[in-house]
Every structure is written in structure tokens, then in C-alpha cells.
Structure 1
Amino acid sequence: MFDTLKKLTQLDEHSWSMFSHILTEHQYMKGETILQPGQLCKHIFFLQTGLLRSFQLKAGDERNVAFSLENSFLTDLKSLRNEQPSELTIQALEPSSVLSMAKVDLVGLYQQSHPIETLGRNLLETLLEEQEEYASWFTLYSAKERYDLLRQKKPDLIQRLPLGQLASYLGIRRETLSRIRRLK
């Protein structure tokens, strides 16, 4: 996690020590839920190992909106920021090791450490940028272009996810994804 955080800001030893004290480690089995719809999201998560997905139920169908690979952060930004019940489910697709930090603890550290305040801001901006980029895929790119972007940006997902999960994430039907993959 420290190496990932260094990309967001520099933490001195004292700030890192304070920050590490608000982290809690959790182990999740495949299929286990981390966040359910209706719960308030009060944490930012860091995936150490495993694979997580974030999805919403729409007309009885699961719609994947994010996949998180090792060494990445995730949360439900809308619920976390506005203290509204989550519309997302976050679920482990593989056995996963996750660090969590409570928003209240992180905000409390902002008063004590400017580097941690900078880290928090940069972290939330990064999460927002990722969401905005994914949302733009559907207005700017065709189904084939979305698949090509995914292959370029997250090639591990293509290997680790079933076809139906990939299709849902790309906003297309399984049959369409199969046709696109045959074109390669």
C-alpha cells in the first residue's frame, strides 16, 4: 500500500505511522459481500490481493460498474460523501485481502498532518477520475472500442473474469462480446 500511496503524495514517517494506525485488515472469501445496498458506506478500501466488483441491480439484472484489482482503492463515493444509503454492492470475486480506513478517522487526521490531508484529497480525486473515465466510455466509444480500452488499461481483467461479467461491465450482451473477441 505504501508504494501505491507514494504515487499520490509523499508521506513522512510520522504521517505514515499515524495513517497506518487507522487501517484495518479484512479477509473476504469468494462471493462474500463487503458493502450492500442500503448500507452507509463509511470506509475507503484498499485491495491488497484478490479481485472485487462493484455492481448495481437494475430491473433484476446485475450491472457491473467497477472491478478492482490488486493495489487499488475503491469505495462508493456518493454514499461516502453524502452519507446516503449505498446503491452499490461490493463483492469479492476471489479470496481477497482488503485494508479499510474509516472516513471519520481519515478526516480526523487531516487536522494533524498536511501530507495526510493532501493524500486524502488526491485519493478522492483519483477515484472520481476513474469513475468519470468509465462513464465517458459509453458516450465516446463503440462497444469494440470499449473492449479495446479495457484490454489496454486492465488486461488482467480479461483473463480473470467470466464472459458475462465482462459483457456487463462493457454495457453489451455476451453474444456481442463473443463477436468482438473473435475479431482479434
Structure 2
Amino acid sequence: MRSQYIAMNQVMPLQEDAWLLLRNVLIEHQLPKGDLLLQPGQVCKHIFFLQTGLMRSFYLKDGEERNVAFTLENGFVTDLKSLRSAQPSELSIQALEPSTLFSMPKNDLLQLYEQSHQLESFGRRLLETLLEEQEDYAAWFTLYSAKERYNQLLKKQPALVQRVSLGHLASFLGIRRETLSRIRKLK
């Protein structure tokens, strides 16, 4: 539980009493490589903290998978739209490696917010951080070329480039695998 405490303190420092309340609602999950954490049609009812492993979030459009996020250790993953609206998800979240996650059920979190102002602030900060990541990803396609997106990814998350297949990376960058291969050869 120590690593969760440290990672969650990066979102916002938590006092010991707030951490103890939060720790009581965490549910551990072991997910084998390839298994889905969330699939289209399910309502997302949790925010997940990834302790070990690697996750990808993707949409299926016209029979093609389109990666929109990767989550590394000590990161959080969810479908914000489904979580907030209680509508069925269009997103899939899949383990790319064997993964250990801890879920925080939305209903439990809402109850904790009533018990602890600090946890309410933590929840708001966490959701703002997740939303900011989505907005940054969307802006990539307006502001940067494919080569610039790849270079930014190399700079911000070099471990990701080493752990994710070329096909998944190309999809995430919004380019074909062949284009990514050409960009990588220019390095």
C-alpha cells in the first residue's frame, strides 16, 4: 500500500487520516495480459490506480482499433465520460502486460468526499488531471505533425516507446505503422 500512498500524494498530499479512509475502499485486481478492464457497453463505475503493468485505452471504429491513451505504473485510468454520466462506455481498456490495479468505486468515493474535505479536493484534482491529459492528447493533432508527436512522446515517456508495439504506437500517434517506421529511421 506504500506505493499507492506515494503516487496518490503526487496528485495531492494526503494526511494520514484521509489516506486511511481512502485505503479502505481500494479493491485489488490482477489482470492478465490481453484482458479487458472495461469494454464497450459497460458503465464505468471506478477510477483505477495501476500499481504494476501497462494499460491501453482504445476505441473500435470501422473495425480498426484507435489507441487514445496508455497508462504506466503509478498512473490512473478510467473512462471519464462514462464515469460521470453513468452511460455505457464506448471505450475499451486493456492490459498490455500482466497488471495489478486498485479500483476506487465512484459511489464509495462520493461518500468519502462527504467525510473528508481533503479527499473531496483530492478527487477533484485527480479528475482535473485526467481531463487535462485528454485535452493535451486532443491538442496534439491540431498543433503538431506526426514527427513532432513522436518526438514529444520520446521526450515525455521514453519507457512507453520501449514497451508498446509499433502498431499500438502508430495508432496512438494517428499514423500508419509504415510512417512510424520511417520517422524512427530518421532519428
Do they superpose with TM above 0.5? yes
**1:92 partner amino acid:** A
1:182 aligns with 2:185: yes
Q: Percent identity?
A: 66
**Count of aligned pairs between the two proteins:** 184
1:94 is matched with 97
1:64 is matched with 67
1:157 is matched with 160
**2:100 partner amino acid:** S
1:15 aligns with 2:11: no
Secondary structure of 1:178 counterpart: helix
Q: Quote the offset at 1:175 in angstroms.
A: 0.6
Runs of 5+ in structure 2 lacking a partner?
Answer: none
Distance across 2 between alignment mates of 1:110 and 1:161: 36
Q: Quote the offset at 1:10 in angstroms.
A: 2.3
Runs of 5+ in structure 1 lacking a partner?
Answer: none
Which shows bigger deviation, 59-68 or 2-11? 2-11
Distance across 2 between alignment mates of 1:177 and 1:164: 9
TM-score, normalised to structure 1, is: 0.99
Distance across 2 between alignment mates of 1:67 and 1:6: 21
Match of 2:33 among 8, 30, 35: 30
User: Is the Cα–Cα contact under 8 Å of residues 52 and 93 in structure 1 kept in the other structure?
Assistant: yes
Task: Return structure 1 stretches of 4+ with deviation > 4 angstroms.
Answer: none
1:41 aligns with 2:61: no
CA offsets 1:33-77 (integer angstroms, 9 cap, x no match):
100100000000000000000000010000001000000001000
1:104 aligns with 2:113: no
1:134 aligns with 2:145: no
Distance across 2 between alignment mates of 1:143 and 1:135: 13
Distance across 2 between alignment mates of 1:11 and 1:177: 41
Q: Quote the offset at 1:8 in angstroms.
A: 2.1
Distance across 1 between alignment mates of 2:181 and 2:13: 44
**1:118 partner amino acid:** S
